[in-house]
Amino acid sequence: MCGICGVVGLRHASPIVFDGLRRLEYRGYDSAGIATLVDGKIDRRRAAGKLDNLGALLETSPLPGTTGIGHTRWATHGAPTTCNAHPHGTERVAIVHNGIIENFEALRRELEAAGQVFQTETDSETIAQLVDYHLAQGLAPKDAALKALQRLEGAYAIAMIFAEHEGLMIGACHSAPLAVGYGDNEMFLGSDSLALAPLTRRISYMEDGDCVVLTPVGVEFMTFDGTPVRRAEQTTALAAGAIGKDGYRHYMEKELHEHPLVIGQTLQRMIDPANRKVVLPDMPFDLATVPRAVITACGSAFYAGMVGRYWLESIARLPVDIDVASELRYRDPPLAHGSLGLLISQSGETADTLAALRTLRQNAVHILSVLNVEHSTMARESALVLGTVAGPEISVASTKAFTAQLTVLACLTIAIARARGTLDPLGEEELVAALLDLPSRAADVFAQGDAIRRMARVVAEARDVLYLGRGSMFPVALEGALKLKEISYIHAEAYAAGEMKHGPISLIDRTVPIVASAPFTPLFDKTLSNLQEAKARGGRLLVFTDTKGAERVSAIAEEMVVLPHVHDFAAPILQTIPVQMLAYEVAVMKGTDVDQPRNLAKSVTVE
Ligand code: M6R
């Protein structure tokens, strides 16, 4: 977690760094800070809370200097106070850090015994104290940094500046991303290319165990033992202007309204509309012979994977294992040689998903990742990437990336089914037509705004909410419950509707609304029976259905959102949109911080 930005050049550094932090705030927003060199001395400004607090501080107390580093924090070790805010440092060095230094306690004891004086509770300060210790022994900045890096264990991306060394910045990373940006007479460091998007499109991605020494006109990559290495310069396609709110109240609202566009763009990449066929890039392995698939991801991306499992099993007849990445990475499951590892991630940086990817790869599993950030660490480590074409997703709550993930998984299912001979050309045409219908059906969902707000008024009053769905609507229910918890802080649980009578039914009373996803699919009658059972026990039913299901649901539902009826295959994609909109409307009614909910960060780059 945490975002890092740094610059060495000729311009005033702190506004450039601050702007970069604004783009990185999605990685954490507990506190923020910037350090620069002013007349050779390190000076810094730090503030607890949102980046705006640091902005206000810089207004009243500006920070000059042309060499600077900044940080936006998601606290791991030490409370989110100003004292624990980065940059950390001494008179000789200032550092910013993303990740966790796992051996920090041992290092801290050793450094304190050697006379170093710590000021914070963080693991990160150990880096500064270690570098300072070596500087105090007379080492030059690069040598002191390399010596310190050789002692660090854990995951980290670091940027450092040094007193009396104007125009010098050193970066390093291990199991955490860091990008170098090339400017004219200035060089940048950033946690991702988005941070650097308005500054430069020329980027080099650092690899695990890289250190980089930057001056306004020079870049020198090396390993931690000082061996020079080369890192290719790439051109990023990210546009600087892509992240405004465009008149919407929140990024989440804007991103919800982008569903139709994003589904359409993603389909465009994967479908030949003239022939109604899925066209995927050349595969580095044979889809026809993979013995099984292992799907893994975290959070919403995991729920997308659950929908993918229903499709792959029922349409492609491919056996599928699925687990959250934080479990899979430690489960040591027996993996069939040559299986397909399907990794799903918006950011491509989620620590657990990345670790699971590496575990699968070590076990000779073919890695196919479904990613939104195509220049991410996971992209670089995958045999094949299928992009979700959702554009930058800024709101911490994932919305459009989720439906884009489903869209990719749907196309992949068709391709695998065709390769395995479980789908004939007519069947493929039918499924492709169902997907091509989605962008305009998705646009229709926004006409349901009033009905969704009526539901939201009921949910906003509740302390607990139960979400239900069957088959591929079960992951949609899970997604709805997660979104509600995440941004409105209302407790919500999702159950496979058939499971309700095995326990959760005892929760049902007038104070626990039941949100059900029940379009007219082959499981509609079964879901309806479960809803009847809930109604019979006094449950208040808020039902997402479609034009075909509405007639039968209306008799028992207190509130109903009626979407166009679409093919069963496409239904989970369409039905996700109003479920996410419900969470949004509830959060707005409750007045929470919709885009940056408490305790969360967009990209979870620590374990
Ligand atoms: O970047 P990723 O897709 O790997 O992120 C996975 C989860 O952290 C993410 O989906 C999280 O659950 C969202 N905040 C949900 O809205």
pLDDT digits (tens, 9 = 90+) for 20-76: 999 888 788 889 999 999 999 999 999 999 899 999 999 999 999 999 999 998 887
Distance CA 17, CA 189 (A): 10
Q: For the chain, give the percent of residues with pLDDT over 70.
A: 99
With a cut of 90, say whether residue 210 has pLDDT above it: yes
Q: Is residue 562 left, alpha or beta, with left meaning phi > 0 and alpha meaning psi from -120 to 50? A: beta
| CA-wise closest residue to 352 among 326, 324, 382, 378 | 326
Residue 2 catalytic? yes
* DSSP code, position 250: S
Q: CA-CA distance, 251 to 245, in Å (whole number)?
A: 6
More confident site: 302 or 537? 302
Return the structure tokens found at 71. Answer: 């940080």
**Ligand 1 in contact with 193 (CB < 6 A)?**
no
Distance (Å) from CA 348 to ligand 1 centroid: 10
User: Would the CB of 545 count as within 6 Å of ligand 1?
Assistant: no
Residue 9 clears pLDDT 70, i.e. is over it: yes
Indicate if the pLDDT at residue 521 is higher than 80.
yes
CB atoms within 10 A of CB 438: 24
Does residue 121 carry a pLDDT above 90? no
Task: Round the average pLDDT of the chain to a whole number and report it.
Answer: 94
Please give the angle made by the CA atoms of 428, 312 and 426, to the nearest 5 degrees. 10
Nearest to 551 by CA among 513, 518, 516: 518
Mutate to test the pocket of ligand 1, among 191, 306, 346 (most ligand atoms within 8 A of CB): 346
- Give distance in angstroms: CA of 301 to centre of ligand 1: 6
Cβ neighbours of residue 50 closer than 8 Å, sequence gap 6 or more: 25, 29, 32, 596
Q: What is the whole-number distance in angstroms between the Cα of residue 386 and the centre of ligand 1?
A: 17
CA angle, residues 456, 462, 468, in degrees to nearest 5? 75
* pLDDT band at 159; cut points 50, 70, 90: very high
Q: How far is the CA of 601 from the centre of ligand 1 (A)?
A: 9
Distance, in Å, from the CA atom of 88 to the CA atom of 377, rounded to the nearest integer, reads 26
| Torsion of the alpha carbons at 537, 540, 545 and 551, rounded to the nearest 10 | 70
pLDDT in tens, 256-265: 999 999 999 9
Q: What is the pLDDT of residues 418-435, one digit of tens each?
A: 999 999 999 999 999 999
What's the CA gap between 586 and 81, in Å, rounded?
A: 30
- Is the CB–ligand 1 distance for residue 353 below 6 Å? yes
Q: Please report which helix (H) or strand (E) contains residue 404, including its range.
A: helix 400-420
Instruction: Say how many C-beta atoms besides its own lie within 10 A of residue 193's C-beta.
Output: 23
What whole-number distance in Å separates Cα of residue 4 and Cα of residue 367? Answer: 29
What percent of the chain stands above pLDDT 90?
Answer: 84
Give the β-pairing of 41-48 and 31-38.
Answer: antiparallel
Comparing C-alpha atoms, which of 603, 586, 587 is closest to residue 452? 586
Candidates 563, 546, 587, 564; CA nearest to 456 is: 587
Report pLDDT digits (tens) over 476-489. 999 999 999 999 99
Structure tokens at 269: 């990449």
- Which candidate, 404, 412, 390, 414, places its Cα nearest to that of 342? 412
Per the DSSP assignment, residues forming a β-bridge with 349 are none
Closest CA to 556 of 580, 578, 527: 527
Supply the angle between the helices 449-460 and 473-488 in degrees, to the nearest 10: 60
Q: How far apart are CA 468 and CA 503, in angstroms?
A: 13
Q: Whose CA is nearest to atom 14 of ligand 1?
A: 397
- What DSSP designation does 395 have? S
Ligand 1 centroid, distance to 78 Cα (angstroms): 24
CB burial of residue 369 (10 Å; 0-12, 13-18, 19+) = buried
Find where tokens 């980046």 sit: 51
pLDDT at 91 over 80: yes
Mean pLDDT of 305-333: 96
Which domains, ranges and CATH numbers included, belong to the chain? 3-242 (3.60.20.10), 244-436 (3.40.50.10490), 446-595 (3.40.50.10490)
For 219-241, write each residue's pLDDT tens digit: 999 999 999 999 999 887 655 44
Nearest in space to 303 (alpha carbons), one of 406, 185, 439, 374: 406
Residue 568 confidence (pLDDT) above 60: yes
pTM of model > 0.85: no
Mean pLDDT computed over 279-287: 93
Q: Following DSSP, what letter does each residue of 459-511 receive, concatenated?
A: HHT-SEEEEEE-TTHHHHHHHHHHHHHHHH--EEEEEEGGGGGGTGGGG-STT
**Mean pLDDT of all residues in 534-539:** 91
The answer on pLDDT for 243 being more than 70 is no
Q: List helix spans (H) across 363-399.
A: 377-380
State mean pLDDT over 266-288: 93
| Ligand 1 contacts CB of residue 252 (under 6 A) | no
Ligand 1 atom closest to Cα of residue 405: 3
> Tokens representing 604?
């979870």
Q: At residue 78, does pLDDT exceed 90?
A: no
In the set 2, 173, 211, 411, the catalytic residue is: 2
Distance of CA 118 to the CA centre of its chain: 33
**Band (79; pLDDT cuts 50, 70, 90):** confident
